[in-house]
């Protein structure tokens, strides 16, 4: 399954599950969607050609800063200073992530360690521990778990499957019968386009619903 499909599913899952929490603020709602979107891409750090690796590299540009501070605002002295500082911070973060992801990609095989349920559980326990000690709302750890799990389940829809229960079992597990399994590759398949289309339709509907809930429309 391609990164775009994983991202669509991650965003959709974040919107769907967060809709059940009526007491969320708009900021918590947006943060949850960002968390599920990011965690839905994270398992693919084990390959240099993945969507998340491509986006993190960003061709050496501070893309987020450029989006946040547009060209017009950079014409002022204050805007220029903010742009320089934020660009520096963003590029440092990108460099750290590129190095970390590069190490992972060299040490593990694609769809191995980062796709094991055991790895996800260990990461989840770590995040919950940090949340408890740091007095951070545990809901963010839960949604990280959900987003990450959506990636693994998405790959289980493909022909390759996932060794999700390793080391208990070395077998590749699938969620669909053989003839219905999705083709994988760099190019998005017809089946994935269908998933993305349906996902975007549901996502748009739920976004409108939640905007009404937050009284923004």
Structural domain of 205 = 3-47+110-213
In 3D space, the residue among 141, 195, 204, 207 whose CA is nearest the CA of residue 7 turns out to be 195
Q: What is the pTM assigned to this prediction?
A: 0.85
Residue 126 lies in a domain: yes
Report pLDDT digits (tens) over 56-97: 877 667 777 777 777 677 778 788 888 888 888 888 988 898
pLDDT at 32: 92
| Cα angle for residues 187, 176, 149 (degrees, 5° grid) | 75
Residue 136 lies in a domain: yes
pLDDT at 3: 84
Residue 149 lies in a domain: yes
Report pLDDT digits (tens) over 148-181: 999 999 999 888 899 999 989 999 999 888 887 8
**Residue 120 DSSP one-character state:** H
Residue 76 lies in a domain: no
Report pLDDT digits (tens) over 86-126: 888 888 988 898 898 888 888 888 888 999 999 999 999 99
Q: What are the CA-CA distances from residue 20 to residues 23, 40, 72, 145, 172 (Å)?
A: 9, 20, 40, 17, 33
Task: Tally DSSP H helices, then E strands, for the chain.
Answer: 8, 0
- What phi and psi values does residue 169 have, to the nearest 5 degrees? -145, 135
Indicate the number of domains in the chain. 1
């Amino acid at each position: 399954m391609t990164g775009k499909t994983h991202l669509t599913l991650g965003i959709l899952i974040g919107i769907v599950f967060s809709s059940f929490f009526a007491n969320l603020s708009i900021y918590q709602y947006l943060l949850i969607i960002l968390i599920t979107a990011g965690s839905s891409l994270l398992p693919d750090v084990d390959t240099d050609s993945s969507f998340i690796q491509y986006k993190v590299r960003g061709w050496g540009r501070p893309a987020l800063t450029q989006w946040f501070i547009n060209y017009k605002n950079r014409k002022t002295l204050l805007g220029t200073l903010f742009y320089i500082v934020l660009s520096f911070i963003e590029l440092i973060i990108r460099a750290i992530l590129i190095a970390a992801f590069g190490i992972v990609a060299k040490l593990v095989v694609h769809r191995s360690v980062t796709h094991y349920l055991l790895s996800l559980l260990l990461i989840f326990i770590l995040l919950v521990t940090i949340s408890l000690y740091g007095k951070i709302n545990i809901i963010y750890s839960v949604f990280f778990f959900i987003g990450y799990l959506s990636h693994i389940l998405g790959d289980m829809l493909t022909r390759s499957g996932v060794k999700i229960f390793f080391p208990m079992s070395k077998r590749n597990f699938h969620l669909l019968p053989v003839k219905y399994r999705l083709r994988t590759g760099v190019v998005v398949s017809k089946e994935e386009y269908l998933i993305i289309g349906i996902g975007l339709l549901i996502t748009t509907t739920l976004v409108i619903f939640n905007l009404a809930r937050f009284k923004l429309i």
